[in-house]
Amino acid sequence: MAAGLLSAVAGGAAAENRPAKELFGGMKLPARAAPSPYGSYAKGCIAGAVAIPSDGPNWQAMRPSRNRRWGHPQMISLIERLSKDAPSVGWPGILIGDISQPRGGPMLNGHASHQIGLDADIWLTPMPDRRMSAKEREDLPFTTMLKENKFLTVNDKVWTLAHARLIMLAASYPQVERVFVNPAIKKKLCDTWTGDRTALGKVRPIYGHDAHFHIRIKCPQGASGCKPQAAVPPGDGCDKSLAWWFTAEPWAKPKKDPNAPPPKPPRPTQLSDLPKACAVVLQAPAAESEMAATYGGGAPISALTAAPAIPNGAVPALAAQMPELPDVVPIPLARPAGY
């Protein structure tokens, strides 16, 4: 298994210089350990992630080839809860988009966040009343909630009260810290939501997010390696911070100095940029199988959480126990030929 892990991690002589997104993007299974997020939503990783099954009574997971059905068990059970509660707000079931990679971390494409198993995308398309094939789940196009030819305006031909109620339901759970939606959708909620507005402040405007919304949960209690985000400001958020999105500023192209040299492409995140624990997570033994690490499928969650934890606050101590842990944590190279 170790050799398999090494070859999965490596695969090239220059493995140690490979961007973190290639290392984490190549992992097929989670690290077998107690569930632990390390780092922040946009710079970190997760040990002991579990997968949500592709199908549940009220959900279907989309884009199966991406292998991003993995998350912290609290994220996975929150999604299950949302799927169960959805029919009560007139939404038949949910289509689940990306959660995280098996060990989290940066991704080869898409998302800056989704790195520690505490973010999940839910489509703004209701689940159809039949099971879609794997191919349909790959190919089903997104449906934007916006008018094609009008600046930041929700299209009332596709937007319904059930959309609003699903987003507000997601925001209502105490463990949900933020729900990201397009600014036009936030404005729509501000203008039309007549129910309890307590949770509306958690719904945050952001670029994109016009065909799906994004649920972010808090750092789980006791997860000392998880770096929390600042709390959302008080109030419903239907204020200046929203009005700003309707000005030219967020959409203006950055001004270019014609005499400036072309900008250098940004340096991709390296493993050494992530919390030290992420090098351990990357090299940890894999879960037995995808099935064994799937929520409710094969192994009970309790069996997974009973696995030994990767020490958390104790990561520096763990590093001290290793014979030598240089600043740049070495990545195993490819297996020698003929081995």
Residues that bind Zn ion (CB under 5 A): 121, 214
What H or E segment, with its residue span, contains residue 245? none
Look up residue 216 and give its DSSP letter.
E
- Minimum distance of Zn ion from residue 150's CB (angstroms): 25
Reported as half-sphere exposure (CB side, CA atoms, 13 A), residue 147 has a value of: 11
- Minimum distance of Zn ion from residue 49's CB (angstroms): 16
Nearest of 114, 97, 108, 98 to residue 46 by alpha carbon = 114
Query: Is the CB of residue 44 less than 8 Å from the CB of residue 105?
Result: yes
The residue nearest Zn ion at its CB is 214
- Minimum distance of Zn ion from residue 214's CB (angstroms): 3
Distance CA 207, CA 320 (A): 43
Distance CA 316, CA 160 (A): 51
Q: Residue 283 has which token pair?
A: 């090299």
Residue 84, number of CB atoms within 10 A of its CB? 15
Which CB, 69 or 214, lies closer to Zn ion? 214
Who's near 52: CB < 8 A, 6+ residues apart? 59, 61, 69, 71, 76, 79, 80, 96, 99, 294, 295
Q: What is the total residue count of the chain? A: 339
Which CB, 22 or 121, lies closer to Zn ion? 121
- Minimum distance of Zn ion from residue 113's CB (angstroms): 7
- Minimum distance of Zn ion from residue 70's CB (angstroms): 14
Output the CA–CA distances (angstroms, integers) from residue 219 to 46, 138, 292, in the order listed. 12, 31, 25
Which CB, 185 or 304, lies closer to Zn ion? 185
Distance CA 262, CA 245 (A): 29
- Minimum distance of Zn ion from residue 310's CB (angstroms): 26
Residue 165, number of CB atoms within 10 A of its CB? 17
Output the CA–CA distances (angstroms, integers) from residue 273 to 7, 22, 270, 288, in the order listed. 22, 14, 5, 29
Which CB, 103 or 214, lies closer to Zn ion? 214
- Minimum distance of Zn ion from residue 177's CB (angstroms): 14
Which CB, 123 or 283, lies closer to Zn ion? 123
- Terminal alpha carbon distance of the chain: 14
Which CB, 107 or 310, lies closer to Zn ion? 107
Query: Is the CB of residue 46 less than 8 Å from the CB of residue 24?
Result: no
- Minimum distance of Zn ion from residue 121's CB (angstroms): 4
Which CB, 15 or 206, lies closer to Zn ion? 206
Which CB, 121 or 290, lies closer to Zn ion? 121
